[in-house]
Structures are given as C-alpha cells and as structure tokens.
Amino acid sequence: MRSNRARLRAVSMAATLPMVAGALALGIPAAHAADNPGRDALAGTRPAWATAKADKGDASNGAQVSLRVYLAGRNANGLAAYAKAVSDPSSPLYGKYLSAKKAQAAFGATKAQVAAVKSWLTASGLKVTGVTQHYVSVTGDVAAAEKAFGTQLHNYAKGSKTYRAPAKAASAPDSLNGAVLTVTGLDNAPHKATHDDQLPPPETVFRNSGPFSSYYGSNIASTLPEAYGSKIPYAIQGYTGKQLRAAYGAGSYTGKGVRVAITDAYASPYIAFDAQTYASKHGDAKWSTGQLHQVLPKNYTKTDECGAAGWYGEETLDVEAVHAVAPAADVTYVGAASCYDDDLLDSLSKVVDNHLADIVSNSWGDIEANQTPDLAAAYDQVFQFGAVEGIGFYFSSGDNGDEVANTGTKQVDTPANSAWVTAVGGTSLAVGKGDKYQWETGWGTEKAVLSADGKSWTDFPGAFTSGAGGGTSKTVAEPYYQKGVVPNALATANSAAGNRVVPDISAVADPNTGFKVGQTQTLPDGTLGYDEYRIGGTSLAAPVIAAVQALAQEARGGKAIGFANPLIYSKYGSKAYHDVTDNPTGSGLAEARVDFANGYDATDGLITSVRSLGKDSSLSAVKGYDDVTGVGTPANGYVTSFGRR
C-alpha cells in the first residue's frame, strides 16, 4: 500500500456516499521510515535500477531538478474503494457515479493540504512553479531536494548511460498527515511513451503495393508458392468501418449521444480535413458540425526527441477508426505537450477533471521495466478518479508480443498493466464476402520472403516480426475481477500470490488484416496531399474497442459503462464473445503481401513475402482466457449484452 495516512472525512454529498461509508473507512497509516523518524516513506520512489553496484557517487548539489509532488487527497484508500464499488456489477453502488466536482470534493486534496505541502517545499529551498488539483510542481537544486525528501541523490549507471536517482526511498514529514501520494522527477531517466503502430512515421507518404484482397480470401495468389499446403490469399487492402461494424456486432447502433476521448501526443494540423475526406471516400457517415473537438496545450515540447510528426498518423488512425465503428459518437482529441509521462498524465487529467468523455482510447505506452512505482501511483490515481465518475480507459497492449525480441526480457507494457484500465490485445481478422465474420486468430506474425527464383519462401515460416502484447505483470497484483477467469498458471507466472495478466479483451490489430487510413502526408514530389494506407497494431484495436463500447453505452440508454473490466469478466464464456484461438481452421494460416521497397512506389522494386498468422512469440491464443486476446473479441451479442447490464 502506498504511503499515506488516509482518513475518513465527513462530506456533504449525494445520497450515494453514505452507502459506501464502510468502504471509505479503509485508511491505512503511512509507513514510517525506519531510519528517518518523524517522516513517512514514499514507497517506490527509488527505482529498481538504482542499485549499490550501479552507484557512481553523489549527484552535484548544484544540479537542477524539476519535480512533481502528487497529492494523496482526503482519502486515497477510500477513492480506490469507491472506484471499485461503482464499477462492480455485484455491488449495490454499481453505476452510482459522482460528478467531477463531487469526486474532487470527496477525494481531492483540501486547500489546507495544498498549503501545507507548498509551505514544506518552499521551506526546503524549492520553488513552486505550478499547482493543480493533482500535484504541486517545483524546481530547485539537488541539495534542496535532498533536504525536502530526506534522501541523498546519487548517479547510477543504467545501461550505457548515467542518471540521477534517490539512494533510498524519498519521504515526507509525517506532520503532513499523508497529504503526499508520491513524487516524480527525483530520478532523471527518460519517462516517455511511444505510439503503437506498425508503419514508419508517415512524414513522407507511405503506400501499400498490391495485389490486394477486398475481403479475406477474395484474391488468391495463384502464381506464388503455397504455404501450409495450399495457395494463400493476398493481404487485405484495408478493412472499412462497414466490415468492422459487421464483424463486431454493431447492428443498428451508432454511438449516438456517447462521448469518446482520444489521447496522444501533439496534434495533426490536418485532422479535421483528413477525417471528413476519409469518411466521404469510404461510406462512413459525414462528420457533423461540432462532432470532432480538440483540447490542446498552449505549447509543445521535445518535438524532435518524440518525433512529433509520427504521432500525427496515430491521431489520424484513432479518430478515423472510432468514427468508422461508432459514426454518431462525439469525439474529443486531447493532445499532450510531449510524449513524456508527465505531459500524457496531464492530458488524461484534463479528461477526468472536465469529464470530457465516458470512454477514453489510448494507443501509447512503454515496457513495464521502464515504469517506476511513483509514476504508476500517479496514473492509478487518475484512473480511479475516472472510475468514480463513470469514465473507462482503454489502452493498447503493445505490438511486440512477449517483448523478448524487442528487449531481451519477457514483460508486459504499461499503462496497460494497470489494474484500473482495460488492456486491449490484438487479433488477425477474417471478414469474408458479404461482410460475414469468418474467424480470428491471436495477432502474431512470422515473415518469410520470396526466393530469387520465385519458387519457394526462404526459411519458411520465417522470423517473428510483431504481435499483440500480453503476459503477466511483475509489479501489479492480480485484480479481483480476474480471479476465477484467468488460468492460475498465468496469474502465478511471476509470483505465487498472483499478478495482473494482460490483455482483458481484443480486436483486430494485424497490419495484414488491418484498417485503411487517410492522411495528409508529404508526397514524393515534395507537396502535401491526402493519401491512404493500411495500418494495424493494437493502436487500431484500442479505438475499435472504445467505439464498440460507445455502441454498448448507447444500447444501455446512454448510461455510462465506466471502468469496464468487472463487467467484461462477468460475461466471460458467454455468447457476447468470439473465443479466439490460433489456427482456427486447423490447417495453418498465411497471407501473401507485396510491398514497395521504398515505401511509396515501384521505383526501387517490390518485396514479396508470406506472413504467417497466429504466431505471437511465446504467447498463444487458446480456448478460454489467454494472454494474447483476453476473454476474446466482441461478438453479435456483445453490444446488447452490455445494454442489459
């Protein structure tokens, strides 16, 4: 339990609050620092890589620091308890959400707490640079930070670089009565996210070469070698909204009256034009006036480091995918000032503080090893406030399978690993003639190229290229809603006590069965112009699931679903889901794909390859819950099933 002394306080609020008095009275005293009397330890503020072996000595006293001191609020444990209660279908408080204002009044920091924290920080020699309802930001030197947080800052080797970090866990005076949740910035290793798409950043136009299939199996590569004993189809040109809506049981629902938010870094200057152009070209409903909104920061930072233009394609994919599946939903894009966690947290907080939407799609993240407990605490607090208000967060599970090929270590991605978000995994989807759902496999791709003589595939089936992220967390405990559904072997893979397993649910992600996107890009002649390409990744799966949730919310009369995991798991094994397994046809599955060598035309030749499906590193989609697809994908009964609550 994180260090705080949460105390139940009398709050004059809606009639729902007295009903949860027992749940709110869960305050646990702060952990006192054994070697630092009179102070409360802020657990998790010393990163795991700050070991004695890696210690390179004291940081310079005069070096500058920039910190965020996150506020625990009136009752951090009560916040988590209420977030659980309103999200659990078996609870009498299920669905009894609070407004943003009432949630802040019940659980946010008091003026007295903020004043006390500011006074402590300034007395230590730090300068307050900003105050929000979530944190106090400060700057100063190392000496002042050491004084404030009761720890020494040292330099530590991390890989080939050296970063500053606390030599022991930071602490705060116990006279603050647990007002501090955590502090970030004491270590200065980069804390940033990447977007989970499977194409190069489209600053320069990206195009797919043909031949294509318009639906799965419509165009067989008869002149190419066989795979798994038969001729194989060419890859899909890119599924449309009409095909995805049919596959996931949209029926007549359109998301009318439902608000969906999308968070990414930066913002495409062409998003409104591109979204409207794409919709008109593919038969989607026209965007109505005021249906697409943007909430953007005053200034952007770290644009080169984060590859700002590369995020434009991410935003475009997310916006167009949500509209394609839920064409009447109201969409708000919330852009972060950079790809760093602090700025992404700010964008999430804007959604919660202003209740901009009930459903939030997030196609970004990092590996769990890079997530420090201090940041995890800050993220979870935002997600819990969201749950209290009836807001659900959906995060892509990652595009590197078990991450071994990418990092050398089997691990999951974050924030998808949080027990307070819905982690969205990925599949390869076959939609046949007449928009009929055929099957899905877990998304995992192995690639082999055509031999020089064109008669075989070299080293078939080839090497792993990408796949849906999944597996067992090493840091997050098993949430109650996964017990009894997630196989024990998965839950206990890293701890006998059990840990969070990712993902929770899934949708189409394989770039070979992906979605067509339209975006303004730099054309080969150097001019700007609208162009289209197929894209995939769990970056696609997350907005698709967010859009399906909008349909489900419409089906339940507009009543918010909120944090959806307890409800998702309560319907496990029902007809609400396609139970996705690898190799559903029993004969092996593959597609042929032809790509431009330079990414946009045939000037430099073509590359012909075979892409095997359902080969996700060490992860496997099996009958029942699995760590590639979770409980499965939405079936025809999903939307109305959620509508019945």
State the pLDDT at residue 199.
44
Q: What is the pLDDT of residues 146-159, one digit of tens each?
A: 999 999 999 999 98
7 falls within a domain: no
Q: How far is CA 162 from CA 166, 302, 600, in A?
A: 13, 20, 40
Mean pLDDT of 265-288: 96
pLDDT at residue 23 tops 50: no
What is the domain count for the chain?
Answer: 2
Q: Using an 8 Å Cβ cutoff, are 260 and 351 in contact?
A: no
Q: What is the pLDDT of residues 533-583, one digit of tens each?
A: 999 999 999 999 999 999 999 999 999 999 999 999 999 999 999 999 999
State the pLDDT at residue 309.
87
Average pLDDT for the chain: 92
Both 152 and 208 in one domain: the answer is no
Dihedral angle over CA of 218, 219, 225, 226, nearest 10: 10
State the pLDDT at residue 575.
95
Helix (H, G, I), strand (E, B) or coil at 345: helix
pTM to 2 decimals?
A: 0.93
Mean pLDDT of 56-71: 96
Both 446 and 520 in one domain: the answer is yes
Q: How far is CA 113 from CA 79, 122, 133, in A?
A: 17, 14, 11
Mean pLDDT of 226-239: 97
CA atoms within 13 A on the CB side of 471: 27
State the pLDDT at residue 310.
87
pLDDT at residue 20 tops 90: no
Q: Using an 8 Å Cβ cutoff, are 549 and 563 in contact?
A: no
Helix (H, G, I), strand (E, B) or coil at 146: helix
635 falls within a domain: yes
Give, in degrees to the nearest 5, the angle at Cα 36 between 35 and 42: 105
pLDDT at residue 34 tops 70: no
Please report which confidence band the pLDDT of residue 198 belongs to, taking 50, 70 and 90 as the band edges.
Answer: very low
Both 213 and 84 in one domain: the answer is no
Asked which of 165, 190, 215 is the last residue of a domain, the reply is 190
Token pair 């019945």 is at which residue? Answer: 644
Both 217 and 185 in one domain: the answer is no
577 falls within a domain: yes
Please report which confidence band the pLDDT of residue 624 belongs to, taking 50, 70 and 90 as the band edges.
Answer: very high
322 falls within a domain: no
pLDDT at residue 11 tops 50: no
CATH assignment at residue 423: 3.40.50
Domain containing residue 234? 195-253+357-643
pLDDT at residue 196 tops 70: no
CA atoms within 13 A on the CB side of 32: 7
Both 178 and 233 in one domain: the answer is no
Asked which of 136, 169, 190 is the last residue of a domain, the reply is 190
pLDDT at residue 9 tops 90: no
Three-class DSSP labels, 519-566: EEEECCCCCEEEEEEEECCHHHHHHHHHHHHHHHHHHCCCCCCCCCHH
Mean pLDDT of 20-36: 45
610 falls within a domain: yes
Q: What is the pLDDT of residues 405-432, one digit of tens each?
A: 999 999 999 999 999 999 999 999 999 9
288 falls within a domain: no
State the pLDDT at residue 56.
96
46 falls within a domain: yes
State the pLDDT at residue 195.
77
Residues 6+ apart with CB under 8 A from 138: 66, 67, 69, 121, 126, 127, 128, 129
pLDDT at residue 190 tops 90: no
State the pLDDT at residue 154.
97
Tokens of 27: 């305050």
Tokens of 133: 């309802």
Both 128 and 61 in one domain: the answer is yes
Q: What is the pLDDT of residues 351-397, one digit of tens each?
A: 999 999 999 999 999 999 999 999 999 999 999 999 999 999 999 99
326 falls within a domain: no
Both 514 and 366 in one domain: the answer is yes
Between CA 536 and CA 544 the distance in angstroms is 11
State the pLDDT at residue 645.
53
Between CA 42 and CA 171 the distance in angstroms is 5
Both 211 and 168 in one domain: the answer is no
Q: What is the pLDDT of residues 479-517, one digit of tens each?
A: 999 999 999 999 999 999 999 999 999 999 999 999 999
- Helix or strand run (H / E) with residue 292: strand 292-295
Both 632 and 556 in one domain: the answer is yes
State the pLDDT at residue 36.
64
Q: Are strands 437-442 and 413-414 parallel, antiparallel or unpaired?
A: unpaired
Q: Using an 8 Å Cβ cutoff, are 466 and 400 in contact?
A: yes
* Among the listed residues 366, 376, 429, 387, the one whose alpha carbon sits nearest the alpha carbon of residue 591: 429
Mean pLDDT of 158-174: 95
Both 415 and 429 in one domain: the answer is yes
pLDDT at residue 26 tops 90: no
Both 523 and 487 in one domain: the answer is yes
State the pLDDT at residue 204.
79
Both 418 and 527 in one domain: the answer is yes
Asked which of 166, 190, 214 is the last residue of a domain, the reply is 190
Angle in degrees, 0-180, between the axes of helices 341-353 and 373-389, rounded to the nearest 10: 20
